[in-house]
Structure 1
């Protein structure tokens, strides 16, 4: 009797056992050999690498509990897969599809080469609720979210997630694996990751705990309070989605089931699922416009006179702008690798409109510091704020950081958490210490320029300058 040949299952940003179509199909075929290849072409930021290191460790342990090793390799994907085929005798390679330009190009080359060598090569949908080419209007991609959302609701049927496969059989021939510690994805000295470790539990188990916690304690206020950064009314699931520890189908199903049991949650569930479909929209745009990370979708913005100012960029990155809401958000990002979505919009608007610094520099900082760094969301959202992307915010929409702070953090709870040096100010003055007056500041022992920076720009003047620069693009 012939020994069944193993199927290599490639894992990338899908580090989970449940609802993994490629793993499911591989198990049905016979023995499986789980593999993770770190290709230098797939570089990510430091915070993303920290998370993925933790997630790979958790995923390897989950596989080991089921008698399967996780093979870790570095190098070119095609060459590495060829070596693994030779070492294991595998005659099939399965993976879940990627939709970023580099990943798709690599996978096209891989599939063509494998099929030419007589090796079965299959890719599966596992990253999105719908394939990017499935939702088109008159054979053209959507560029505005609301019609995309309506088309999604009318035409997409989200299929039921797959369970963890039963009786996973390991390959009899197991190639050697590299040691994850040698990849140096964890920070050395100085170790800046303590805040990340305190805030998150990477891995599939941590993802499910986060989802259940949101469904029990956060979904009920999502529609009314999701813009308030001090409230626990957002899911914080984005890192788990970015690393594939949960699939969007799993989240969709859990939210729908809860809303069906508790109809009073319907408005909150709809608002949350709409945000999940925004993620779909971002990947839809990146698939159809692969230059989005580098090129404005509205070509006239290529002429915008962006400023080069390393000092101003550094102050923004360090949370030293003199605007409390901006500084609180940037400090939250540095310490936890995450930032509340409303605050992301405010700090992004400040960079590209008050400081007139190129949105790509902001996107690059987010790419390096966010644990949920996602090429589609990062590119589309920065272009949205800058006014140069699809369904973009109008160029004249310039967030006032003080008014935004007062509106969404009226009692300064979020500000006091991240800016303890301002904690003694009352709810009125904490949003704008500059206008508190010398008597108020002296009473609480705060000296601007020493204990907290003065505003680096006057928002009213900066807004007018931005409007003038944007108006030139219309000529």
Structure 2
């Protein structure tokens, strides 16, 4: 360490890849010590799922954006590759750090890792300070009157919101006193000096898909938020279930990686509530959705690995089917049900899928095909840019009926009626299933019921350029209801 410098403070970025409203960064700057900003990428983490293909792509782009922001302030992001425990300790010792700061995580294995790191650093007389930079309310701050965790969302959300308002988000720092990390320290490689090959190892090649619709990072998150507030919010409550309307926020990946904080989103909505009275219903509805995200992390903290274990253990006896051919057809958007296929193709091409269609596609896999929800959750984990350890499995268990406050298993979406109701003019279906685009509205939702002349004039050849249904709705519904009787 150069003799003229104070010992540095390390800010360990995780799922908080932003400069504004970042409590760990704000605290570190306030110490008056020079700052080292670091991210650790572990491609083979222990007891934690590795990033999926799509989240790995977003991560690389997000880190590049974060580094650009730091470079503009005169610093850079230090990227370490390997074990979190070994990497952060080695860096702290090598540069003579006096303290390490981070924003907290909530998966049990991550919490255990953080505890072990804290103990290891303190044995070296290196202080550790941690903060809430990811949730409105951390899981241990909300409980029932007898001190137990909630299991019902509505009750949880009432308690979480009762006489509570999150602190106002903090502004982006205008200057940061950076500590110059020596280039000869083992395992330390600033992001701006990494080769293109290394970046590509983090981010798969999506050149043949439509990931170009996404701009990643903090500035892109603010653009997306402002666009939603300006152009879509007023229509959110009435139009959020209609995929062709495109009025959902698409903020989920920015929240997932912390390009935006949930406090920033909350206060942005609240700040316009009084001036946009026509949007009050939409604001309340959107805040309710933020509440479901909070509840998902609450469940993750209190009840463990949601992607592995049924919240309702009676579902352990569910007679799931092994049907690889049907599973493959579902993944590829070749089920013969246009709305389901449109959703699965949107997922493949963009890394995202409309919320109403997420429910329809998930219900189809679990109930029409009677395939274990874990198969779908795993596929979404790999393909969604917003996949996380809480919301993704919590949503899948909700659809399957095995989760907390879940939809009853006997609630089986009819994919034909869902298509007719929420994509009446088939705008969404025609976009993602173009081989059906010339069919008239009255038969595009169930093309196998169309007359031969209608199919011929639309150049649709069932079983050739578009599949027959892989299962009939009424038969699938009957089979699903028999399965739930098996575990009652």
Gaps of 5+ in 1: none
Q: Provide the rounded CA distance (Å) in 1 between the counterparts of 2:383 and 2:276.
A: 38
Q: Provide the rounded CA distance (Å) in 2 between the counterparts of 1:83 and 1:425.
A: 63
Mean alpha-carbon deviation: is it higher for 162-171 or for 237-246?
Answer: 162-171
1:275 aligns with 2:282: no
Q: Name the counterpart of 2:412.
A: 398
- TM (normalized to structure 2)? 0.94
Q: Name the counterpart of 1:177.
A: 189
1:444 aligns with 2:458: yes
Q: Provide the rounded CA distance (Å) in 2 between the counterparts of 1:337 and 1:252.
A: 25
1:118 aligns with 2:121: no
| 8 Å Cα contact 2:89/2:117 also seen in 1 | no
| 8 Å Cα contact 1:9/1:35 also seen in 2 | yes
Deviations 1:169-188 (A, max 9, x none): 0014445415264250222x
Mean alpha-carbon deviation: is it higher for 256-265 or for 203-212?
Answer: 256-265
| 8 Å Cα contact 1:87/1:173 also seen in 2 | no
Return the offset for 1:308: 1.0
Residue 216 (structure 2) aligned to one of 198, 202, 210: 202
Residue 296 (structure 1) aligned to one of 310, 317, 340: 310
Mean alpha-carbon deviation: is it higher for 305-314 or for 81-90?
Answer: 81-90
After superposition, residues 42-441 of structure 1 pair within 5 angstroms as 43-137=50-144, 138-175=146-183, 176-177=188-189, 179=194, 181=196, 182=198, 184-187=201-204, 191-441=205-455
Deviations 1:396-453 (A, max 9, x none): 1010000001110001000001011100011111111011121211222211011210
Superposition CA RMSD, Å: 1.3
- TM (normalized to structure 1)? 0.97
Q: Secondary structure at the match of 1:455?
A: coil
Mean alpha-carbon deviation: is it higher for 77-86 or for 318-327?
Answer: 77-86
Q: Provide the rounded CA distance (Å) in 2 between the counterparts of 1:193 and 1:21.
A: 36
Residue 471 (structure 2) aligned to one of 452, 457, 467: 457
Q: Secondary structure at the match of 2:174?
A: coil
Q: Name the counterpart of 2:10.
A: 8
Q: Provide the rounded CA distance (Å) in 2 between the counterparts of 1:35 and 1:157.
A: 31
Mean alpha-carbon deviation: is it higher for 200-209 or for 147-156?
Answer: 147-156
Q: Provide the rounded CA distance (Å) in 2 between the counterparts of 1:72 and 1:332.
A: 32
Q: How many residues align?
A: 471
Q: Provide the rounded CA distance (Å) in 1 between the counterparts of 2:85 and 2:334.
A: 46
